[in-house]
Chains A and B, each alone.
Chain A
Amino acid sequence: MAPPPIVTGLSPKEGPPGTRLKIRGEHFGSKPSDLIGLTICGTDCLLSAEWKTSTKIEAISGPIKGTGEVIVTTRLGGVGTCNVTFRGYFLSSIGPLKESAVWVEEVSSWSRHSLSPSSFQHEDPLGLSIEENENKISEEDLQSNYPGKCGDIGSTNFSPGWFLLENHQATSFHDLDAGLVHLQRKVQGQKEGKLSFLKANMNSIMDQIDTLSNLREKYEKDLSEFGSEPTLKLEKTIKESEREARKLFDDVLARKDRAEKTRNALSVLSRFKFLFCLPCVIERHIKKAEYDIVINDYIRVKNLFHKTDVPIFREALKEIDKRIVNLQKKLHADLQTMPITVDQQKRLIRYLVNLEAPYDSAWDAIKSRSEYIHTKFRLIYDYYKSMERPESGKKVVTALKQSKLNDSQVDENVPPSCVSFTKEICATLSEIFPDLWKIGQAYFSGELQVKVGAGRQVEYKHMVLDVIESFCRYARATTVPHTLEKHHRPPSPSLAPPSRDDLAFYLPDLLRSVRSTYATLIKLDLPNEALDIVSHLLLDLRTNCMSILFQQTAEQIKQLNENWRISFAGKYTGISELPLKFLQLVEDVLQIVKESALSVELRESSLLDSPQAKKELEKQVDNILTGFYDVLDKLSSGEGFDDGDDNVPVVSQLIGSPMSTYKFVPSGQTCPSWEHRLLITLSNCLFARNTVMDAVASKFKETGFPSVESSIKSAKAKLRNLEKSILDKYLEQKSDPLVGTIEPSMYLGRFDWDVSTPPTDIRPYVKECINNLINVHAEVTNISSSLLDLVLPRIVETIAEELYRLMSCVQKFSKEGAQQARADVEALQEFFEDYSSENARAYFKEALEAVEGVQGSDRTMVDDILSRCRVRMRIQMLCLKKVDENS
C-alpha cells in the first residue's frame, strides 16, 4: 500500500468561499484518478479538485467558516494527514463592482443563494449564550470518549454528553439547570401548541375552507368552458412572454459576450505580452549591448513557445528569430573584428553558443586571430617599405653633405627602416600572439564549451607554426638574409638590407628584441616544435651577430691610423698607441659579443656548440689578426708616406740629426722620418708579438671562447717574418750609406797608404764612421733602446767587413801607412767592441792581418795614438758602451 498523502503547503492559507487553492504535499498519487477524496475544513471539495502532480492539487474552497485541515484521500494511500490549516471567512459581499484582493471565481461551484444563513447560526437548544464557551476539548478527545457519537442535535447519533462538553464547558450548573427548565418548557409548548392553536383561530380556518370550495367551483366551470386542458393556453402565453422577455435581454447578453471576449483577448495579450514585446525589447537590449538579457529572454521564449502551433505566436517567434539571427551575425562579425581581447572574444563566443548560432564561432575566432597576425605583419611590412624609398634618397643626400661627419649619430636618430621593421614585428608578435595561443588553449580545453571539430588540433598546430614561421621569415630577411632559402624570401621587393656598419650597430639590439619575443613564447609553454623555429632563428642571428661584429672590428682595425707618437709614460716603452688601440678594439668587440651573441639565455644552447658558429669564429679571428698584421705591414712598406719632403736624404753630413727629421704639423700630427717609422713599426711588431697577442688570447679565453691558440701562433709567426723584413729594410736604409761613405772618406784628398809622414792621430774617416754609428745609436735609442741589440751589431758587422775588404785591397803599406792603418782599425775595433758579433770580430782580425806588422817602437807609436784618442773621444766611447742595467 502506498504511503498516505500528506498536505504540507497551502497557497493561500485563508480566503473567502470560492478561493482557488494550491495544495502541496506528498503522495498525492500518480494520476488524476488516484485522487478520490478532498475535504477542506470538513467540506467535501472533490468536485472542484484538479489533480496536477503527485505533489500538487488545485481546488476551490467551499462555504467554510473557521479554521480546519485539508485532507487528501487517494486510492492507494487512503485518508491522509495535514500539517497546515486553512481559514475560511466571509467577505461582507463581493459583487461585480467591489474590489477584491483575491480572485473570486465567477462560476462558483456552490450557490450562495441556496444557503440559508440560519443553518450556520447555532441557536442553543438550552437557550443559553455560548459566547465565552470556547471549545477546549479537541474533536479527537471527544471521539475517543464517545465513540460513534456526535454532538449534532439533528443527528441520530446525538450524544448529550458530547454536546454539553462541546458547548457548555464553562456554563455553571445553575445555568444548566435553568437551561433544562427552558428546554422542558419548549418541549411542553410544542406538545400543547397544536390544539390551542386551532381553537384560537377557528374563524379564519373556516374562511379558508370556504375559499377552497369557491376555488374548486371556479375551476370546474373553467373546465367545462375551455376543454380538458385549461392550462394549455396559459402555458402558451407564458412561453410567449418568456420569448418576449428574452428578446429584451438578447442585446444585453450579446454585449456581455463581447465584453467577455475582449477581456479574454486582453488577458491573452497581457499573458503573452512578454512574447509580443520581445522583438522590441531585444532590439533595445542589443542597442545597449546587454546581450545576457537578450539571451535569457530568448531561451525563455524558446522554452515556452517553440512547440506552439498558434499562428500569431509563430509570427512573433519569426520576428524574434529574425532579430536573433541579425544579432548572431553582428556578434560573429564583432568576434572577428580585431583588435579585441581574448576575454571579449570568449564572452562573444559564449553569447553565440547560447544563441545556438550556426557558426563555429570559437574556431572562427582563432582563425581570425591568426589572420590578424599575418595581416599585421603585412601592414607593418608595407609601411616600412613605403618609408624606405624617400628615406634612402634622403640618406644619399645627407651622406654626401656630411661625408666625413659622424655618421653614426645620424643613424642613431633614424634607424634604417628594416631595423625598425624587425623590432616592430618582434613587439607585435609578443603582443598579439599570446592571445591566439590563449584562445586556442581555451578552445581545446573545453573552456569555451564548444565541440572541438575533428582535425582541428592539427589545423591549429599548422596555424601556430605558420605564424611563427612567417615571423621568423620576416626577421631573417632583414637580419640574416643569407640564411633564407630562395623560395622562402618574403614577397619582393624586400626591404633593403642595412649596411654592415648599421647592422653591427643595431644587431645586438635586434637580438635583444627577438630574444624578448622568444621569452614571451617560452612563457606561453608552446610546444617545442614551435619554439625550435625561433631558436634556430636565434642561433643564426647570434652567429651572424658575432660574425658581423668581428667583421666590423676587422674593418676598424684596417682603418687604424698610426700617429707615430711614442708613449714613454706607460708600462711599455718604445711603442706607439697602435697596438694598444688594436687591443682595445678587440677587447671592446669581445665585450659586446659576450653580452649579445655569446650570452646564453633561456632555452638557448651555447653559441659555440654549433660547429658552424665555431668555424665562423675561427675565420673572424684570423681576419682580425690578419687585419692588424696588414696594418703593420702597410706601415712598414712605406706606402702612402712618400709625399715629398718626408723622404729627406738620410745620411748627413751623411746622416742628419735625428731630431731635425721630425716634422711638426700644426694639427699636432707628427710624421717622423721613414727610418723612424720603420723603427716604430718594428718596435710595435715586437710588442704585438710578445705582449698583445698573448693578451688577446687570454682575453678570448676569459670571455669564454674556445682556444684561439693556433690563430695566434700563426699570427706571431707572420709578425716575426715581418720584423725581419722591417729590420732588413732599416739596415739597408742605414748601413748602406754608412758603409758606402767609408771608402771615399778613406781616400779623401788622394790619400795613399804608402805615405811617409808618421801618423799622429786616427784618420777622419774613422771618426766619421764612429759618429755615424753613434747617430744610428741615437736614432734607435730614441725609439726604443731594446732595438739596439738588433740593429747595431748588424751595422758593425758590415763596417768590419768593409774595412777588411778595403784593407785587403791596399797594394802597399809604408811603415807609416801600416802604423796609421793599425791605429784606425784597432780604434774602430775598440769603439765597436760592445756591439761586435763573432763575425765582426773575425773581420776586424782579418783586416788587421791584411795590414803589415808593426813592431817595437813603431808599435809604441800606435799605442800612443790610441791612448790619446781614448782620452779625446771619451764621450763617443761612452756612447757606444753597453750600460749594465744593474750598475
Chain B
Amino acid sequence: MAKKPTVQPALHKVIMVGSGGVGKSALTLQFMYDEFVEDYEPTKADSYRKKILLDGEDVQIDILDTAGQEDYAAIRDNYFRSGEGFLCIFSITEDESFQATQEFREQILRVKNDENIPFLLVGNKSDLDERRKVPLQEATDRAKQWGVQYVETSAKTREHVDKVFYDLMREIRARKMEENKTNNGRGKDKNKKKKRCCCSRWLGCS
C-alpha cells in the first residue's frame, strides 16, 4: 500500500454561481459526464474533480457547484473564499437571473477582494432562443463593463460548455503564473522548504 509522493498536476478551483434553476448543475454535469439532467433538483453544494488535458498539460479541475436558491445564500461567503475562478451563470430566458448576476459579482469581489479574479459571464439555455428575455446586447454590455468575457451556452445541446470551462481555466492558469512571478522570492522559499521536507521525510519537520 506504500505510496510514493508523486508530482500532483496543477489544481484549478472553479466555482459555479448564479440564481437557482439557471443550469449550473446542468452545465457541470454536462461538462463532467456528458449528460443532461431534465429534472430540477436544487443543489446545496456539490463537489466535482477530474483530470483533464488543458493545452497539452495535465491539470485537475475542481468544480464547486453552489446553491442558487436564496435559502443557502448565507453559506456562500465561505465557498467563494476557496474559489480561484468563477462562472457566473444566468438563464437567457429569465431576466431576474440576469439581474442577480450583479449581486453575485459584487459578493465575489467583496470576498476575494480582487478586481481581476478570473471570471466569465455565462448566459445559459441558448437552445431556448425563442423564449429569450435577455437581449444579447444587454449581456455583452454588462460583460464589457465588468471587463470579462461573455459566452452563451446550452447545457442541453452542449454548445460552448467546454469553452467556458476551458477558457476559465486558462485565465486561472495565466493568473497563477503572474502571481508566481511577483511572489518569486517567497515562492522559491516555499519550494525549498518542501524539498527539504521531502528529503528528510517527516522526521525532520517540526
Q: Which stretch of A135-143, A232-240, A385-393, A769-777 is in the interface?
A: A135-143
CB atoms of A8 and B49 under 8 A apart: yes
Which of B1, B47, B49, B202 has most chain A Cβ within 10 Å? Answer: B47
- List residues of chain B with CB within 8 A of the CB of A83: 49-50, 60
Residue of B nearest to A304 (CB): B38
Known: A11-B46, A85-B47, A143-B2. 17 other contacts (CB 8 A): A8-B48, A9-B46, A9-B47, A9-B48, A10-B47, A11-B25, A11-B47, A13-B64, A24-B32, A55-B33, A83-B49, A84-B47, A84-B62, A102-B44, A136-B205, A144-B1, A292-B130
Answer yes or no: A293 CB below 8 A from chain B CBs: yes
Give CA–CA (A296, B125) in the complex, Å: 14
- List residues of chain B with CB within 8 A of the CB of A296: 128
Answer yes or no: A555 CB below 8 A from chain B CBs: no
Q: Which of A1-60 contact B (CB under 8 A)?
A: 8-15, 24, 55
B-contacting residues of A (Cβ < 8 Å)? 8-15, 24, 55, 83-85, 101-102, 136-137, 140-141, 143-144, 292-293, 296, 300
CB atoms of A24 and B44 under 8 A apart: no
CB atoms of B33 and A143 under 8 A apart: no
Q: Specify which of B32, B71, B128 is in contact with A9 (CB 8 Å cutoff).
A: B32
Answer yes or no: B148 CB below 8 A from chain A CBs: no
Answer yes or no: B163 CB below 8 A from chain A CBs: no
CB atoms of A10 and B33 under 8 A apart: no
Shortest distance between the CB of B179 and any CB in chain A (Å): 25
CB atoms of B3 and A13 under 8 A apart: no
- List residues of chain A with CB within 8 A of the CB of B3: 140, 144
CB atoms of A293 and B131 under 8 A apart: yes
CB atoms of B47 and A140 under 8 A apart: no
Sorted from nearest, which 7 A-B pairs have the closest CB atoms? A13-B47, A11-B46, A83-B49, A9-B48, A12-B44, A84-B47, A144-B2
CB atoms of A13 and B131 under 8 A apart: no
- List residues of chain A with CB within 8 A of the CB of B25: 11
CB atoms of A8 and B32 under 8 A apart: yes
CB atoms of A137 and B202 under 8 A apart: yes
**Cβ contacts B1-20/A at 8 Å (1 or 0 each):** 11100000000000000000
Q: Can you show 12 pairs from A to B with CB atoms below 8 A apart? A: A9-B32, A11-B46, A12-B43, A13-B46, A55-B33, A83-B50, A84-B49, A101-B72, A136-B202, A136-B205, A143-B2, A296-B128
Give CA–CA (A10, B47) in the complex, Å: 5
- List residues of chain A with CB within 8 A of the CB of B64: 13
**Cβ contacts B31-55/A at 8 Å (1 or 0 each):** 0110000100001111111100000
A-contacting residues of B (Cβ < 8 Å)? 1-3, 25, 32-33, 38, 43-50, 60, 62, 64-65, 71-72, 128, 130-131, 202, 205
- List residues of chain A with CB within 8 A of the CB of B43: 11-12
Give CA–CA (A84, B49) in the complex, Å: 6
Give CA–CA (A693, B45) in the complex, Å: 104
- List residues of chain B with CB within 8 A of the CB of A102: 44
- List residues of chain B with CB within 8 A of the CB of A300: 38
Q: A8-B50, A292-B130 are in contact. Are A141 and B45 (CB under 8 A)?
A: no
Give CA–CA (A144, B46) in the complex, Å: 33
Which of A11, A15, A84, A293 has most chain B Cβ within 10 Å? Answer: A11
CB atoms of B202 and A141 under 8 A apart: yes
- If over half of B's interface residues share one DSSP class (helix, strand or loop), that class is named, otherwise mixed; here it is mixed
Give CA–CA (A144, B48) in the complex, Å: 29
CB atoms of A24 and B33 under 8 A apart: yes
Give CA–CA (A11, B60) in the complex, Å: 19
- List residues of chain A with CB within 8 A of the CB of B130: 292
Q: Specify which of A12, A101, A143, A293 is in contact with B71 (CB 8 Å cutoff).
A: A101
Shortest distance between the CB of B5 and any CB in chain A (Å): 9
Shortest distance between the CB of A345 and any CB in chain B (Å): 17
CB atoms of B46 and A10 under 8 A apart: yes
Shortest distance between the CB of B111 and any CB in chain A (Å): 19
- List residues of chain B with CB within 8 A of the CB of A9: 32-33, 46-49
- List residues of chain A with CB within 8 A of the CB of B47: 9-11, 13, 84-85
Residue of B nearest to A7 (CB): B49
- List residues of chain B with CB within 8 A of the CB of A11: 25, 43, 46-47, 65
Shortest distance between the CB of B91 and any CB in chain A (Å): 15
CB atoms of A101 and B1 under 8 A apart: no
Give CA–CA (A101, B60) in the complex, Å: 30
Shortest distance between the CB of B23 and any CB in chain A (Å): 15
Shortest distance between the CB of A124 and any CB in chain B (Å): 21
Residue of B nearest to A144 (CB): B2
CB atoms of A101 and B49 under 8 A apart: no
- List residues of chain A with CB within 8 A of the CB of B205: 136
Residue of A nearest to B50 (CB): A8
Give CA–CA (A28, B90) in the complex, Å: 33
Residue of B nearest to A12 (CB): B44
Give CA–CA (A300, B39) in the complex, Å: 11
Q: A24-B32, A55-B33, A143-B1 are in contact. Are A12 and B46 (CB under 8 A)?
A: yes
Q: Specify which of B1, B45, B49 is in contact with A12 (CB 8 Å cutoff).
A: B45
Give CA–CA (A10, B25) in the complex, Å: 12
Give CA–CA (A24, B48) in the complex, Å: 9
Shortest distance between the CB of A302 and any CB in chain B (Å): 13
Give CA–CA (A873, B25) in the complex, Å: 135
Q: A83-B50, A101-B72 are in contact. Are A14 and B32 (CB under 8 A)?
A: no
- List residues of chain A with CB within 8 A of the CB of B65: 11
- List residues of chain B with CB within 8 A of the CB of A144: 1-3
Give CA–CA (A15, B64) in the complex, Å: 15
Give CA–CA (A102, B60) in the complex, Å: 29
Q: A8-B50, A136-B205, A144-B2 are in contact. Are A14 and B45 (CB under 8 A)?
A: yes
Give CA–CA (A136, B128) in the complex, Å: 51
Residue of B nearest to A137 (CB): B202
Give CA–CA (A80, B38) in the complex, Å: 29
Give CA–CA (A9, B62) in the complex, Å: 10
Shortest distance between the CB of A21 and any CB in chain B (Å): 10
- List residues of chain B with CB within 8 A of the CB of A8: 32, 48-50
Give CA–CA (A847, B44) in the complex, Å: 149
Residue of B nearest to A170 (CB): B206
Give CA–CA (A293, B1) in the complex, Å: 57
- List residues of chain B with CB within 8 A of the CB of A84: 47-49, 62
- List residues of chain A with CB within 8 A of the CB of B46: 9-13
- List residues of chain B with CB within 8 A of the CB of A293: 131
Give CA–CA (A144, B25) in the complex, Å: 40
Give CA–CA (A12, B25) in the complex, Å: 11
Which of B3, B48, B71, B205 has most chain A Cβ within 10 Å? Answer: B48
Give CA–CA (A170, B205) in the complex, Å: 11
- List residues of chain A with CB within 8 A of the CB of B202: 136-137, 141
Give CA–CA (A24, B202) in the complex, Å: 34
Shortest distance between the CB of B182 and any CB in chain A (Å): 29
Give CA–CA (A102, B128) in the complex, Å: 31
- List residues of chain A with CB within 8 A of the CB of B60: 83
Residue of A nearest to B74 (CB): A101
Shortest distance between the CB of A870 and any CB in chain B (Å): 114
Shortest distance between the CB of A756 and any CB in chain B (Å): 135
Give CA–CA (A83, B64) in the complex, Å: 13
Shortest distance between the CB of B183 and any CB in chain A (Å): 24
Which of A8, A9, A296 has most chain B Cβ within 10 Å? Answer: A9
- List residues of chain B with CB within 8 A of the CB of A14: 45
Give CA–CA (A12, B47) in the complex, Å: 7
Give CA–CA (A85, B64) in the complex, Å: 12
Give CA–CA (A9, B34) in the complex, Å: 13
Give CA–CA (A9, B44) in the complex, Å: 14
Give CA–CA (A143, B1) in the complex, Å: 8
- List residues of chain B with CB within 8 A of the CB of A137: 202
Give CA–CA (A8, B130) in the complex, Å: 36
Which of A8, A102, A137 has most chain B Cβ within 10 Å? Answer: A8
- List residues of chain B with CB within 8 A of the CB of A15: 44
Give CA–CA (A101, B72) in the complex, Å: 8
Residue of A nearest to B32 (CB): A9
Shortest distance between the CB of A87 and any CB in chain B (Å): 9
Shortest distance between the CB of B8 and any CB in chain A (Å): 11
Shortest distance between the CB of A695 and any CB in chain B (Å): 71
